[in-house]
Structure 1
Amino acid sequence: MEYRELGRTGWKVSSVSFGAWAIGGSWGQTDDSEAMATLHRALDMGVNFFDTADVYGDGRSERLIARLRRERSEPFHVATKAGRRLDPHVASGYSRANLTAFVERSLDNLQVDALDLLQLHCPPTPVFYMPEVFGVLDDLVKAGKLRHYGVSVEKVEEAIKAIEYPGVQSVQIIYNIFRQRPADLLFTLTRQRRVGILARLPLSSGLLSGRLTRESTFASDDHRNFNREGAAFDRGETFSGLDYDAGLRAVEALRPLVPAGQTLAQFALRWILMNPAVTCAIPGGRRPAQVEENMAAADLPALSGEVMEKVRKVYEEEAKAQVHQRW
C-alpha cells in the first residue's frame, strides 16, 4: 500500500482508502456481518482512512466504523460529513446550532471525543460564500470537537471557492475516468495550497468495474435505480451523471487498454492515482473480495503516457459533452 499526505494534517493515508456509503445504505440491502468482514479486510490490507457520513444508513455506517475501532487495535483515521440531514437542504440550515448538533450526533455514533475530519456534505452553492459557516467550523476545532475539516462538493467551482478558507484541509470531489474536469485547474490550486483531494465515486457507481450490462438490474432502494435523473440528490452522484448506455459504450472502449492481469476496476483506480494531486481514491465495497480487488490497485505499475492519452480520448469522445461543463 502507498501512503500520501492529506493536506496539512500531518497524516499519511492509504492511497486507496475505503468509502463507507455502500455499507450504510442506498446501494441495496446490506448485511452487518458482511460489512464488518469487509471493514476488517480493508484494515488487513493496509487501509488507514475510512470515509463515511451521518446520513449513510441514518448513522449505520458511522456505527459500524465505531465497532471496527472496538474490535481492532490498529490506528486509523475517519472522515465523516454533515449537512444532508437538513430538510429542506438549504443554505440557511448551515447554522451554528445545526452544525453543532450534527457534530454531537456523529461523535456519539463514532464513540469518539473529537472527529478526525468533518466535511460539509455537498452543501448548496451559496454556503461556500458564507464565511460565517467556516467560522463555526473553526470554533468547533478550537473547542476540541473536530481535529480538522474539509468539504465535499458537487462542482469544481465550489471547490475553488472553498479552498480560499484557510482551515479547509481537504476537498472530496467526483474524479474518475468519466469525470476529468477537476484536473484542469482545481488540482493545480489544491497542490499550491496543500489541500488534500479525496476522489469519490472512483468506479462511477460500478460502471468502471466492468461488470454492469444493459441487462443489469438494481434493487428499489439502490440509487442506481431511483436517482438516474437526479430525483433524490444530484444526478452526478449516480454513474457520474453519465447516461447509462453511454457509460457502457465507454467501458467497452476502455477494455482494450487494461493491461493483462488487471481488472477494469484496478485500471480505473490506478488511473486516478497517476495524478499526484490526489491524496486517495475512496472506492466502496460490501464484500471482502471487492476490497481485495480495489486495494491491489495501489501496488500496480504506473500507466504509460500512451495509455493515459488513450483514456483521455475515450473521455472526450464518450463522456465529456454530457458532464464536463455541468460539474
Structure 2
Amino acid sequence: MRRSTGIPERYLAGPDRTWPYATYPREHPCMSEKSWAPTRRQLMMTGGLGVLPLGAAAATTSGAAAAPDDLIRRTVPGTSERLPAIGLGTFMTFDTLSERRRERIREVARRHWRAGGRVFDCSPLYGRSEVTLGDVAEDLRINDRMFLAGKVWSTGDHLWDDGHAAAGLRQTVRRMSLDRPVDLMQCHSLVNVDVIVPLLHAWKKEGRIRHLGVTHHDPAYYPLVQSWVERARLDVVQVHYSIHTRVAEERLIPAAADNGTAVLVNMPLEKARLHHIVQGRPLPDFAKELGISTWSQYFLKWVIANPAVTCALPATSDPAHVAENVAAMRGPLPDAAMRERMVRHMETIPGFDQVATMPWYPGKSYSGVVSRAQAAVRERSPWWPS
C-alpha cells in the first residue's frame, strides 16, 4: 500500500498558498558531497540493495567499503549541487500495465541507483510511467533521495488558468510520495509556455519546486527554446542531442552555458535507433583508448564530453542495458579531436544518415497506455504522418 504524502494539503491547495523554504533544504540531500554514514535503520530500509545516498560507501555484509567514488558529475550552474552525468529517462519504457514488466523496470531503477545514478526524468505525458516510477521508487525507498525531473503538460480551461497545471503538480507529488519540493519542473515541449514559465517561477518562489526549465525534442523548435533560455531565467533546458543529432551544439547549448543554464539531454541514444544500425558491428579500435567496451558507452560518452551538458537521460526497460549506460559516467571522456573522430566513424556506417527517419525503438514493443491510445486513434483516423 502506498503511503500518503507528508506534504500538508494547504501547501498544495491553491496559488495563494506557500510552502516555506525554511521547512525544507534548498539543495537536495542526496547531492551533498559531505561525508555521510548510513544509520542502521537506513541500511535496513534498503534491504541490502546498496540503495544509499550519493557519496555513501555501499555497505556489504562484511562491512567493507565499496571502491572509491569516481563518478563523472556536473555542477548545476548557480548551485553547489553536482549531478551524476547519466540519468534515467522513462518515456515508453516505464509505461506498462504488466506486473512482469514492472518487475523488470524495478530492476532497472535499482541498478541505476546502485551504480550511482540519481536523476530520474518523467512526465504525465508518458502514460503510466509516472505511476510506475513512483511505485518503484517507493519500493526501493529512494523517492525522498532521488533527483526528480518532472514536467508540466498543461493548458487550462481558459488563458492563464493554472488549475490544470496545479492539479498536475499535486498529482506528481502524490504519485512520487514526496514530502519535499519537486527538484525540477519543466514545461514539456513548450506547451502553453507563455503561461507555464511564469507559473513555474511562482512555484519556485513559493517553495513548491526547486528548479524550473523547458524541454523540446524537435530541433525545428530550437530557436524558440533558445529565446526562452536567453530571457526567462531558466535553471534547466532539456534538448535532444546525440552523436547523430548535433544541431543543439551549434547555438542552443552555448546559449545555455552563457546564461548559466543546466543542460539535460533527451534521446542521447536516439530511442535505440543508434544501437539498431550498429548491431553486430565491432567497436572501432580507437575506442579502447577511452576504455569504451560497449556502443552505449561510445554514444553516451560522446554526449557528456560536451562540458556544457549536465546530464544525459537514456531510457531503457532492460536491466542489462542500464548497466551499460551508467558505465559511461566512469573513466576518461573524449576530447574535441576524439569526438570528431567518433562522428566520422559513425558516418561510415550504413543507415547513420537515416537515423532520424527510422521508427523509434526498432524491434521493440511497449504495450502501455500511450501505445494503446495511439493505436486506437490510428485505426480511426483517415490520415497518419509518414
Shared fold, TM over 0.5:
yes
Does 2:326 correspond to 1:263?
Answer: no
Where does residue 223 of structure 1 map in the other structure? none
Mean CA deviation greater in 90-99 or 314-323:
314-323
Partner residue, 1:101: 167
Q: Does 1:188 pair with 2:219? A: no
TM-score of the aligned structures, taking structure 1 as reference length: 0.73
Q: Is the CA contact 2:143–2:176 (under 8 Å) kept in the aligned structure 1?
A: no
1:142 partnered with 2:208:
no
190, 210, 223: which is aligned to 1:123? 190
Give the alignment partner of residue 134 of structure 2, picking from 42, 45, 63.
63
The corresponding residue for 1:17 is 87
Shift of 1:183: 0.6
Q: Is the counterpart of residue 277 in structure 1 residue 308 in structure 2?
A: yes
Q: Does 1:81 align with 2:151?
A: yes
What's the CA shift string for 1:137-170, capped at 9, x where partnerless?
A: 1222223221221111133213212213444111
Listed as ranges, the matches of 1:1-327 within 5 Å are: 1-25=71-95, 31-58=101-128, 59-68=130-139, 71-72=141-142, 75-83=145-153, 95-113=161-179, 114-124=181-191, 127-128=192-193, 130=194, 132-153=195-216, 154=218, 155-209=221-275, 212=276, 248=277, 255-256=283-284, 259-260=287-288, 262-313=293-344, 319=353
Tell me the CA shift for residue 65 of structure 1. 4.8
Paired with 1:29 and 1:180, the residues of 2 have a C-alpha distance of 38
Equivalent residue of 1:285, what SS?
A: coil
Q: Which runs of 5+ in 2 are unaligned?
A: 1-70, 358-386
Secondary structure in 1 matching 2:112: helix
Secondary structure of 1:122's aligned partner: helix
Q: Distance in 2 between matches of 1:25 and 1:65?
A: 12
Distance 1:322 1:74 in 2: 37
The structure, 1 or 2, with the larger RCO (C-alpha pairs under 8 Å, 6+ apart) is 1
TM-superposed CA distance for 1:35, in Å, is 0.9
- CA–CA distance in structure 1, aligned partners of residues 213 and 342 of structure 2: 30
Distance 2:306 2:157 in 1: 33
Quick check: which has more Rg, 1 or 2?
A: 2
Give the paired residue count.
276
Query: CA offsets, 1:271-290, max 9 Å, x none?
Result: 00110000011111213211
Is contact 1:65-1:110 (8 Å) kept? no
TM-aligned CA distance change 1:288 to 1:190, over 3 Å = same
Unaligned residue ranges in structure 1 (runs of 5+): 213-247
Query: What SS is found at the alignment partner of 2:185?
Result: strand
Partners of 2:144 and 2:178 within 8 A in 1 = no
Q: Is the 8 A contact 1:258 1:264 kept in 2?
A: no
Tell me if structure 2 keeps the 8 A contact 1:82–1:103: yes
Question: For the residues of structure 1 that align with 2:322 and 2:244, how far apart are their CA atoms?
Answer: 22
Q: Deviations over 1:245-283 (max 9, x none)?
A: xxx3x8899953662451111100010011000001111
* Contact map agreement 1:52 1:61 (CA 8 A) in 2: no
Could you tell me which amino acid in structure 1 is paired with residue 258 of structure 2? Answer: Q
Deviates more, 1:273-282 or 1:299-308: 299-308
Identity of aligned residues (%): 21
In structure 2, give the amino acid aligned to 1:273: I
Distance 1:147 1:193, change over 3 A: same
Residues of 1 paired with 2:231 and 2:115: CA distance? Answer: 35
Give the superposition deviation at 1:107: 1.1
Q: Distance in 1 between matches of 2:110 and 2:356?
A: 38
CA contact (8 A) 1:91 1:123 kept: no
Q: Cα–Cα, structure 1 residues 62 and 74, in superposed 2: closer, same or farther, change >3 Å?
A: closer
Secondary structure of 1:277's match?
Answer: coil
Q: Report the CA distance between 1:2 and its aligned residue.
A: 1.1
Counterpart residue type for residue 115 of structure 1? V
Deviation at 1:191, TM superposition (A): 0.9
| CA contact 1:21–1:61 (8 Å) conserved in 2 | no
